[in-house]
Structure 1
Amino acid sequence: MRQMCVWMLLMALAFVNERCHCCLEEERISLLEIKAWFSHAGAAGSYQLEGWDKEHFNCCNWLRVVCDNTTNRVIELDLFVVNYDGLNAVEDLYLNASLFLPFKELEILDLSDNQLVGGLKNQGFQVLASGLRNLKELNLDYNKFNDSILSSLSGFSSLKSLYLSGNRFTGSTSLNGLRNLEILYLKSTDFKESILIESLGALPSLKTLYASGSKFKQVEKG
């Protein structure tokens, strides 16, 4: 009788586990750390991550998070406009790449409109690129990045779509190494014409360039 009860309990646990489709614990902890990162920086919109807490165990059901239906790994993070407060000033935010490295299967990362200005020491895009080998779409629109991040983006060899509109680029550095990139957004930027041409020549898979509102500066010949 006791063996029968144990067997029934194991079957019940297996059934619950199969029905749960819960996210990985490592990724759930990392999401909580990302929320703490925004909150610690005083992110005005961090309230939008209120559903991210220890009481809600399955992070695949959290807003702004998408998981693979088979593996339950996080494949999309939509973190746009978390550090934003309309016309009111908000603090600048520095990327901490280590927070995102546990998401090995991540395909889409949206960090647009967050007042990001760069990365913490040894925690910038070069580190992020080394860990997110499956990333296909990266949205950095309307932050405060400058040319210093452009060379580090070359590590994202799997990218197909890259959004860089509305940042503080002057085009002193070209984009390269993104051999699979198909779509590039450079709206409202100030790339030098020669650097832009050089960048486009280094993107063999590029099909579409969105650059409305940009002022491509011609380089004066001495």
Structure 2
Amino acid sequence: MNLLLLEDSDFISANRVILQGRRLQHLRAVQRVEAGDSLRVGLLDGLMGEGLITALDEHHAELDVRLDAVVPDKLPLTLLLALPRPKMLKRILQTISAMGVPRLVLLNSYRVEKSFWQTPFLSPEAIREQLLLGLEQARDTVLPEIIIEKRFKPFVEDRLPALAAGSLGLTGHPGNYPDCPRAVSQPVTLAIGPEGGWIPYEVELLEKAGLQPVQLGARILRVENAVPALLARLF
């Protein structure tokens, strides 16, 4: 935990907070802090700053906080991701949150197994938990927007063109396509497929919506590797 995330409900006064639960256990068992120690803190969807631990025991931690630092900029990106396997989804949510993705669309695809949509990891609470872990890692406070689209064709044909308007539209897909660009300076809408990739029909529909297929080379990557590889290359 590189940033202790605070929520409005933690505050007992303008500059004083009480912590319990997971964050308290992490402070005690992992960071091994003591009363008098200072920590980097941030208010969820707000500023960052410093927190001074004024009291600490097995039941609660009390901190005086000062919030006066801005958070890192987000990437100029909308990421479309075919819904991955549930265990992989948890890791990817942390990754995109840590890397500064402001908007993620979880999308259906022909190769997405129907059972994936039944996972409890798609509940709002479970998604939020993984996003918070990513923010704590990267020292950010602003949660990404998560959009769930279970119908590929209506989304791509009816909503994606407006969503991608004014951006560089790209579809990550192995094949005889141009190389993915590097270090772009404009907003990007990027689609990444499931294990096994998009089917040709999906690549065609994405292209009609303004997302041109690009590739990373001869190696075929897992989705959890392709996401950071493409983001690092683009930005």
Normalising by structure 1, report the TM-score.
0.29
Q: Which has the higher helix share?
A: 2
TM-score scaled by length of structure 2: 0.28
Which structure has more RCO (C-alpha within 8 Å, separation ≥ 6)? 2
**Which one has the bigger strand percentage?**
2
